[in-house]
Amino acid sequence: MSQLQCGRRQLSLAQPAVMGILNVTPDSFSDGGLHYRNDSRDISRAVDAAAAMVADGATLIDVGGESTRPGAEPVSVEQELQRVVPVVEALTARLDVIVSVDTSSAQVMVAAAQTGAGMINDVRALRREGALAAAAATELPVCLMHMQAEPGTMQQRPSYQNVVAEVGAFLEQRVAACEAAGIARHRLLLDPGFGFGKTLQHNLALFKALPQLAQLQLPLLVGVSRKSMIGELLNCAVDQRANGSVVLALLAAQALHQCAPSLLRVHDVKHTVEALRLWQAVRSDEEPIIKN
């Protein structure tokens, strides 16, 4: 699979794709409140932030209106629609970029698709009521993520007998459910769900097993940006995790480049893109293009 049709736009999977994170929430763990103040200036702030990420090299912008940080409370569908749909509409009208919508709600999936979204990114892997049918109706690509429990409780006592085997089995089951609902396999991407109902040891085991998860023969989305695993390993706060985030993104790209297309979901787009360009130049036989 070298191309993925995302609504009106195509996503090239020949190289790792960088997905910039744009949360329009008041309470996301890293950027909550930056692009959300619940007033008429929100959309302009969100578009400016997305435009900066596109200029820095993001291929996709992932818009989320419900925080899924550990301990987060769910929001109503009406709240999520009010936060997400106007931003998706503005982004697709003003920027040449694929807009992904980070949602588990059927109504938000449909409304976002109608306003130009090109991908659905669901942390609950289409398990909410109506989500499978809604995603199928949009005909958009869908990213299925593994999460143990729900955001409000997922980090209380996560437990697995074999985290790699269990996450892989879950993703296979959700792929089968999607295919049974009419979502073609070539429209699916997978996300092991780093930090979603996992301890540091679980996260490290999954990261080391990325090539094994690639045996499912679908593109993998890796989202480790600024997450607690970096904080635990480096003993640093959320706003000090950019270096660790870039290093892990690059390691994920290296681990997957011969076995599966990869998408890297990040906050720090510019630094991630620069790291990928250096890595690609070093491993390429071609002369690098020098920009003055």
Known catalytic residue: 265?
yes
Give residue-wise pLDDT tens across range 18-67. 999 999 987 444 454 455 545 456 788 899 999 999 999 999 999 999 98
Distance CA 137, CA 275 (A): 38
Residue with tokens 């970096």: 230
- Among the listed residues 248, 108, 242, 130, the one whose alpha carbon sits nearest the alpha carbon of residue 181: 130
How confident is the model over 247-279, as pLDDT tens digits?
A: 999 999 999 999 999 999 999 999 999 999 999
Question: pTM of the full predicted structure?
Answer: 0.91
The radius of gyration of the chain's CA atoms, rounded to the nearest angstrom, is 18
The one catalytic residue in 69, 187, 226, 227 is 227
At 188-220, the pLDDT tens digits run: 999 999 999 999 999 999 999 999 999 999 999
In a 13 Å sphere around the CA of 196, the CA atoms on its Cβ side amount to 23
DSSP characters for 251-282?
HHHHHHTTTS-EEEEES-HHHHHHHHHHHHHH
**Domains, the chain, ranges and CATH?**
6-280 (3.20.20.20)
Out of 69, 83, 226, 265, pick the active-site residue.
Answer: 265
